[in-house]
Each structure stands twice: as C-alpha cells, then as structure tokens.
C-alpha cells in the first residue's frame, strides 16, 4: 500500500513540475530587465553613422535659382547607384567618389562640385534602398529604415515582434562592414542593450531570431495552460484508478 501512495505522489510531483516548467516567464521573454537575473551587461557604444557602400542607391535633387540648370537636373527621384569604384555618376559633372562617407558628408562633397558651375547650388540626397531584413521566429520580411537611429525594438516591432518561442538570448545581426560580413549575437532582454553596439539597425542589416529548442513543450496561451492542467488531472485519475485495481 505504501508503494502505491509513493508511486502516485511521485507521478503528481512530476506532472505538476511539467506544468509550471512549460510556461513562458518574464525572465525568459521580458525586455529591459534589470541585471539581478544574471543577464549579460553591455557597455554603451558611441553611435556610428552609416557610411555609404558600393551598390547603395542615392536619390539626388539639385535646387538652384538658375532655371535652365534646374530643368536639366529635374529628374525627380531617379536613384543613382554607387559604382564598384565607389563613385556616383551624375549628369554633366565628373564622377564623384562618395563610398565610405556618411550621407551628410557625401551631400557636402556633391554640393561643392555643383557649386563650381552653379554658385547657389543646394544639394539634397537620400539613400533609396534603406532596408533591413528580418527572418526566423518573428514576422519575416524586408522593411524600410524609415529614420536615422532606428532601434532594434522598433525594427522588430515593424516585423510584428518576436514570437514567445523566439530565443531572446541569442538574437543575431548580420552586418556588412569594410572588413567583411560581421556576425553580432546578443541577448535582447537586459536593459543595458540600450545604447549598446547592438541597439541601432543600419541599412542592409539582417536580423535572425532562432526558435527555442524547448518551445514545443512551452505554453503560450491561457487556453493551452488549462488544457495541460486538464490533461494532467485526467492522467492522474487514470493512473490512480489502475493502481487501485
């Protein structure tokens, strides 16, 4: 008789443990957590403006009081691609090297070239292919970098945020740099992610979210929780019935 009670007690403890260990918790999924949960702590990083790269598309506009010149360059928003030699080829001026410059620096360089022929020239430029990509356990797609200093949270919000089953401990950003493709892996949960090197998203970034290996056994809704409790109770009753026969 003792062995039967002991057996049922063990089964009950195991099943209850399964129920509570299968739930998603704030510690596992919450953003901007304090460091008391032994989360990684990231150093603050100086923000580095995006620098133009080969194949970036530049949208160019020239503003001048010279109506004849203005009519020549009134090409709307036709993009101009940065060539393999790092230059941009604009009508009626020499090729201008802008690879490696920030957009602000490149605008100043191009404006100086045009002021050699049009003293009051004002140049406006923008990057035409400012997009980033999101894949993995999150809304997948290609989205615009709609402003400077787009944060990782804003980027993921555009994609619909992470699924509960997404592994927040190992978010990966693939970023093209002058040294080649850089792979940046980080935990998005700690508050120290703010202003760290992982905080801002740049054009052409790829954000990859892994799926938690244990997510198959996790509960994401209240209905699933009730279903698991009901299944656990039913299994316990069946076990008890057969053990008393």
Tokens of 145: 């970098």
pLDDT tens across the length of the chain (245 residues): 445 555 455 455 544 545 444 565 767 778 889 876 689 999 999 999 999 999 999 998 999 998 888 887 775 567 899 999 999 998 888 899 999 999 999 999 999 999 998 999 999 999 998 999 999 988 889 999 999 999 999 999 999 888 888 899 999 999 998 888 999 999 999 999 999 999 999 999 999 999 988 654 445 444 555 554 555 555 555 555 555 55
Tokens of 26: 């704030």
Could you tell me which residues come within 8 angstroms of residue 92 by beta carbon, excluding any fewer than 6 positions away? 72, 117
What's the pLDDT tens digit per position in 23-37? 657 677 788 898 766
Nearest CA to 73 out of 93, 46, 55, 56 is that of: 93
Q: What does DSSP say about strands 141-144 and 87-88: parallel, antiparallel, or unpaired?
A: unpaired
pLDDT of residue 32: 86
The pTM of the whole model exceeds 0.85: no
What's the pLDDT tens digit per position in 64-117? 998 888 887 775 567 899 999 999 998 888 899 999 999 999 999 999 999 998
pLDDT of residue 4: 53
Contact by Cβ (8 Å): 33, 189: yes
Q: How far apart are CA 18 and CA 58, in angstroms?
A: 56
Q: How many CA atoms lie within 13 A of 217 on its CB side?
A: 8
Could you report how far apart the first and last alpha carbons of the chain are, in Å? 12
Other Cβ atoms closer than 10 A to 236: 15
């Amino acid at each position: 008789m003792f062995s039967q009670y002991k057996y049922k007690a063990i089964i009950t403890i195991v099943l209850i443990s399964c129920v509570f260990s299968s739930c998603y918790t704030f510690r596992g999924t919450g953003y901007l957590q304090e460091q008391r949960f032994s989360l990684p702590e990231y150093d603050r990083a100086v923000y580095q403006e995006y620098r133009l790269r080969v194949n970036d598309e530049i949208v160019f506009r020239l503003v001048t009081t010279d109506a004849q010149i203005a009519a020549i360059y009134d090409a709307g928003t036709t993009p101009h691609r940065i060539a393999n030699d790092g230059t941009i080829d604009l009508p009626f001026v020499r090729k201008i090297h802008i690879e490696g410059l920030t957009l602000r620096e490149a605008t100043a360089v191009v404006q100086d070239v045009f002021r050699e022929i049009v003293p009051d020239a004002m140049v406006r430029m923008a990057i035409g292919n400012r997009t980033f990509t999101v894949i993995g356990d999150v809304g997948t797609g290609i989205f615009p970098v709609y402003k400077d200093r787009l944060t990782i949270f804003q980027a993921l919000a555009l994609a619909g945020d992470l699924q509960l089953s997404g592994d927040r401990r190992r978010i990966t950003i693939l970023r093209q740099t002058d040294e080649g493709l850089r792979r940046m892996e980080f935990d998005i949960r700690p508050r120290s992610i703010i202003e760290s090197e992982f905080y801002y998203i740049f054009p052409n970034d790829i954000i990859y979210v892994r799926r938690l290996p244990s997510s198959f056994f996790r509960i994401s809704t209240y209905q699933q929780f009730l279903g698991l409790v009901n299944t656990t109770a039913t299994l316990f009753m069946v076990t008890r019935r057969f053990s008393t026969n």
